[in-house]
């Protein structure tokens, strides 16, 4: 008897996931405007709901401002939606056994002046964690108008390059490839690259 006789070998037909073409540019401003108008809300209404100034919302809608993760959290909370709904109009809602494969270079972009995030597994809603692959563009604390601070916890693992991670209450942590840090996100925090090239990290926030 051959080693595979009597054994279901149908799994052998499953190959490596096909690399799909990258999706076109995603415009958070357009998505935010659609969400607001679908609810019949003015900018002032949305401002009261999200705790953000109407002028701030207008800048985001017109792609004049790149929101930080803190602001994205406020938008999702104010519109009573999952964060991934801000980045996808067809995210999967119901599933008993979920799985998501994100190939290299893919994921939903979320650009800020200091970070270039790519939200991975973006089609799955209501996740307990929000994983990003992030390029750290900032070069010093002077690049930050305000440090980040929001609810939840987060974990950062350096994939390449070197970073300096600042948190209130603690001395700065200097981290290289393979190093990681875990923090309570309600502490103010900021991270910048200390290597010649932009650092790349795996950044995971609780949802």
Taking only the tens place, the pLDDT of each residue in 95-107 is: 568 899 999 989 9
CA distance 22 to 2: 43
User: Bridge-partner residues for 111, per DSSP?
Assistant: 116
Do the beta carbons of residue 169 and residue 187 sit within 8 Å? yes
Residue 161 lies in a domain: yes
Q: What is the CATH number of the domain that holds 181?
A: 2.60.120.10
pTM over 0.75: no
CA distance 23 to 183: 33
Residue 69 lies in a domain: no
Do the beta carbons of residue 125 and residue 92 sit within 8 Å? yes
Residue 116 lies in a domain: yes
Which band of pLDDT confidence, cut at 50, 70 and 90, is reported for residue 167?
A: very high
Strand, coil or helix: what is 109?
strand
Residue 37 lies in a domain: no
Residue 70 lies in a domain: no
Range 82-121 burial, b when 16+ CB lie within 10 A, else e: bbbbbbbeebeeeeeeeeeebeeebbbbbebebbbbbbbb
CA distance 37 to 174: 45
Residue 183 lies in a domain: yes
Do the beta carbons of residue 110 and residue 118 sit within 8 Å? yes
Range of the domain at 132: 105-206
Kindly report the CA angle at 33 between 71 and 70, in degrees rounded to 5? 5
Say how many domains are in the chain: 1
- Which of 125, 59, 117 has its CA nearest to residue 88? 125
Residue 184 lies in a domain: yes
Mean pLDDT of 123-139: 92
Mean pLDDT of 74-95: 72
Residue 9: per-residue pLDDT: 39
Residue 121 lies in a domain: yes
Task: Give the CA radius of gyration of the chain.
Answer: 20
């Amino acid at each position: 008897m051959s080693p595979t006789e009597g054994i279901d070998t149908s799994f052998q037909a499953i190959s490596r996931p096909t690399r799909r073409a990258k999706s076109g540019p995603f415009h958070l401003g357009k998505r935010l405007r659609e969400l607001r108008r679908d609810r019949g809300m003015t900018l002032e209404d949305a401002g009261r709901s999200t705790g953000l100034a109407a002028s701030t919302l207008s800048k985001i809608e017109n792609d004049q401002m790149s929101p930080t993760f803190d602001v994205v959290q406020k938008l999702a909370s104010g519109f009573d939606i999952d964060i991934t709904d801000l980045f996808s109009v067809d995210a999967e809602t119901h599933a008993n056994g979920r799985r998501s494969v994100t190939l290299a270079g893919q994921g939903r972009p979320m650009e800020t002046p200091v970070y270039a995030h790519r939200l991975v597994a973006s089609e799955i809603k209501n996740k307990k964690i929000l994983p990003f692959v992030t390029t750290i563009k900032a070069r010093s604390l002077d690049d930050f108008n305000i440090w980040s601070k929001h609810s939840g916890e987060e974990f950062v693992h350096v994939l390449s390059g070197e970073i300096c991670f600042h948190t209130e209450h603690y001395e700065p942590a200097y981290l290289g490839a393979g190093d990681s840090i875990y923090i309570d996100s309600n502490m103010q925090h900021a991270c910048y690259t200390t290597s010649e090239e932009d650092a790349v990290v795996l950044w995971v926030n609780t949802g």
